[in-house]
């Protein structure tokens, strides 16, 4: 048995005016709860440190850059790293990253129990659009403010388990999980900011949106025989509601823990990494069963091409 007690630290809304320091104080409060519950690892959402700023149209690059971090840890987040190290809890969280050479990414990091960053992932599947869209009820400008990630989907050995990360929209793409599955991933951590309403289909219900979120993550877990921890930023951010529904899914695709509120909330589960073994050695033993000679289109082609 390789048990890791995992905390999914859902965050309630973060308003435009909230400071990084105030957010970090909330993250530390969740970390305190996690320590009490015996967590070894705590996962926070996408863009944890700020409001979901891609909903706002901005033309001034200095204003855009004000939402980005140029180093990690930095003065605002150092207390979080210190606290996590003090507890011996590994953490993962998302933030907007501006690199020294001026690139902008939607990024997540993973630490070990000593507070060292051991993994970094940059969001590959950026949803939304890059120009102001008058047809939408609200904007989703990730394609304007971020570049697609340049690191692929790496997997790291951390705490005696193979771990990988994804971010929000990535969770809807089977390729995300499979590329990590092919590296033996046992735990996929992902944070999200999913609006509660569809900006292009106003009558789409929340129930359907939660279902699609669950479906994507539980399928990824089952089909790759791994744990998936999906963590929301939830609640009303300056009049824009974000869906909650954080879950922990086991390698059979069952939801073993689910958040019940749309605020700051910690859910936990003792996740045995050895539960991945059966699926990886039987029905999803990729080496024996995959037929790559028929999968060429997956990487050769992006959009649909109908047969002649
Ligand atoms: N943050 C993020 O990736 N959100 C998307 C919503 C896309 S709607 C244009 C998601 O897939 O949840």
**Residue showing tokens 């073993």:** 256
Active-site residue 280, yes or no? Answer: no
Q: Report helix, strand or coil for 41.
A: strand
In the chain the domains, ranked by start, together with CATH numbers, are: 3-290 (3.60.110.10)
Active-site residue 46, yes or no? Answer: yes
Q: Whose CA is nearest to atom 10 of ligand 1?
A: 169
CB-ligand 1 contact for 224 (6 Å cutoff) = no
CA dihedral 229, 235, 237, 243 (to 10 degrees): 60
What's the distance, CA 194 to chain centroid? 11
203 HSE (CA, 13 A, CB side): 0
Q: Whose CA is nearest to atom 3 of ligand 1?
A: 169
| Residue pLDDT tens, the chain, 308 long | 999 999 999 999 999 999 999 999 999 999 999 999 999 999 999 999 999 999 999 999 999 999 999 999 999 999 999 999 999 999 999 999 999 999 999 999 999 999 999 999 999 999 999 999 999 999 999 999 999 999 999 999 999 999 999 999 999 999 999 999 999 999 999 999 999 999 999 899 999 999 999 999 999 999 999 999 999 999 999 999 999 999 999 999 999 999 999 999 999 999 999 999 999 999 999 999 999 999 999 999 999 999 99
CB-ligand 1 contact for 176 (6 Å cutoff) = no
Q: Whose CA is nearest to atom 7 of ligand 1?
A: 127
Atom of ligand 1 nearest to the CA of 129: 9
Q: Quick one: which of 92, 133, 106, 109 has its CA closest to 52?
A: 106
Distance separating alpha carbons of residues 19 and 30, to the nearest angstrom:
17
The pTM for the full model equals 0.98
Q: pLDDT (tens digit, 9 = 90+) per residue, 97-151?
A: 999 999 999 999 999 999 999 999 999 999 999 999 999 999 999 999 999 999 9
Residue 308, pLDDT score: 94
């Amino acid at each position: 048995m390789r048990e890791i007690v995992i905390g999914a630290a859902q965050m309630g809304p973060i308003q435009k005016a909230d400071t990084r320091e105030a957010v970090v104080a909330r993250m530390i409060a969740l970390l305190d709860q996690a320590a009490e519950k015996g967590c070894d690892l705590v996962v926070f959402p996408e863009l944890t440190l700020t409001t979901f700023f891609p909903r706002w149209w901005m033309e001034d690059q200095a204003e855009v850059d004000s939402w980005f971090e140029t180093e990690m840890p930095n003065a605002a987040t150092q207390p979080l790293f210190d606290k996590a190290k003090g507890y011996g809890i590994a953490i993962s969280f998302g933030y907007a990253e501006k690199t020294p050479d001026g690139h902008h990414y939607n990024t997540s990091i993973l630490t070990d129990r000593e507070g060292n960053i051991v993994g970094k992932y940059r969001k590959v599947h950026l949803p939304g659009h890059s120009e102001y869209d008058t047809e939408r009820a609200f904007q989703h400008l990730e394609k304007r403010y971020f570049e697609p990630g340049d690191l692929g989907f790496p997997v790291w050995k951390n705490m005696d388990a193979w771990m990988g990360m994804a971010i929000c929209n990535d969770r809807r793409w089977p390729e995300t999980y499979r590329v990590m599955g092919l590296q033996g991933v046992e735990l996929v951590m992902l944070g999200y900011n999913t609006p509660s309403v569809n900006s292009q289909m106003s009558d789409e219900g929340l129930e359907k949106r939660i279902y699609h979120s669950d479906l994507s993550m539980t399928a990824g877990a089952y089909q790759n025989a791994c744990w998936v921890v999906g963590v929301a930023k939830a609640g009303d951010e300056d009049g824009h509601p974000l869906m909650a529904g954080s879950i922990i899914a086991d390698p059979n695709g069952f939801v073993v823990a689910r958040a019940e509120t749309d605020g700051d909330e910690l859910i936990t589960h003792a996740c045995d990494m050895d539960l991945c073994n059966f699926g990886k050695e039987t029905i999803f033993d990729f080496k024996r069963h995959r037929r790559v000679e028929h999968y060429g289109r997956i990487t050769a082609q992006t959009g649909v091409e109908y047969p002649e």
